[in-house]
Amino acid sequence: MTATRQPRQYIQLSDASVKAIVCAINSFNSVYGDYKVENTLILVSNAWELLAKSILVKRKKNIYTDRKKEKTISCEEAINKLVHFKELELTQAELLQQIISLRNRCSHENLPPVPEAIQHHLLFFSCKFFKELLIKHFPKKKSLLSKNFLTLSFDHMTTYSDTVQKLVSKLRTVGKDHKELIWLLERGVRYVESSDYISQDAFEKLYINKKKITPYLKVGDYLDKAEMLRVVPIQAPKNYSADIELRKGGKKLSGTLPVSISKSNVDEDYPLLNNDIAKKLKKSSSYIAKCMSKLDLKGNKDYHQAIRVSKSGSVQRYSKKALNFLEDYLKKNPNYNPY
């Protein structure tokens, strides 16, 4: 009878990490469960600890704290090692250390209430980074996380940044739970550089007698560097399409992710194709396309709308206002050359 060959250690660790992250997503998406936030934090931390150690072992790095190899490094240490070996960016590690900080709290004491915006931010990006790193080192496992996991949302939510900024601005007046939550997030972010947890007393001394609190907190730096997530439910009637546009806002909007939703009927609001305008103005199609681009009509919702028809292509449609503007402009500038 031949012995069954065991998979290599890093394969076993990576397999277990995928099981843990899927269980975490399943826990977060569960409708019922008084302990689902804590359960999710524990499972996400577990998944990342296993993935980090699998990558370190694959890279022939030590994950043990003793010679007998009976005790491995902590999750916090494993994540920081990934930063050291340039497997994770600082901002990514700061997010993960926040999760671990919250996990440690709920493993030993009651976890203060965590607003949904913070939950969504931490879970979404931790899973996104997990998938990217997993595929990088174990490309054959790509299919294991190829599904879409959906949490229903009927309300407009704010972002992690908005929520944290609001809580920080009220640190002197909010209750104990909110102060503890910001401390737990702050100590997670700080761990990336210090490899040590700041105490709650030391944390509160950071902003005593300070007019503005955010500049003295590392979590404030994280808000400026990290991408934000906002869940926006979109409900539309038949024959409507949804176009999502990201645009850079001013400094006053640096912590927010405002979303404006407007309904339009493409056939009525943008009835003209490029060729239609070319025929009316007796110009070539390429000339009109160039004018639209050079005169900044393209991309302006008053004049233009791109309709995606495939993964790689879209149809450009224009409003009557665009035709009138271009017709008037060419009358005033008959020698205009957009090329």
- Give me the pLDDT at residue 248, please: 65
- Give me the pLDDT at residue 302, please: 79
- Give me the pLDDT at residue 125, please: 95
Q: Is the pLDDT of residue 10 over 90?
A: yes
Quick one: what percent of the chain has pLDDT higher than 70?
85
Q: What are the C-alpha distances in Å from 205 to residues 83, 112, 195, 201, 210?
A: 29, 20, 20, 6, 10
Strand order in the sheet with 272-273: 272-273, 314-318, 304-308
- Residue 50 CA, chain-centre distance (Å), reads 22
What are the pLDDT digits (tens) for 126-170? 999 999 999 999 998 888 777 766 666 666 678 899 899 999 988
Report, as an integer, the average pLDDT of 220-245: 78
Between 233 and 12, residue with greater pLDDT: 12
Beta bridge partners of 307: 315
- Give me the pLDDT at residue 232, please: 72
Report, as an integer, the average pLDDT of 271-287: 85
What are the pLDDT digits (tens) for 19-66? 999 999 999 988 877 899 999 999 999 999 999 999 999 999 999 998
What are the pLDDT digits (tens) for 88-122? 999 999 999 999 999 999 999 999 999 999 999 99
pLDDT band at 300 (very low <50, low <70, confident <90, very high): confident
CA–CA separation, 242 and 259 (whole Å): 13
pTM above 0.85, yes or no: no
Domains of the chain, earliest start first: 9-147+156-225 (no CATH), 268-332 (1.10.1660)
pLDDT band at 4 (very low <50, low <70, confident <90, very high): low
**What's the whole-number average pLDDT of the chain?**
86
Of the chain, the end-to-end C-alpha distance in Å amounts to 79
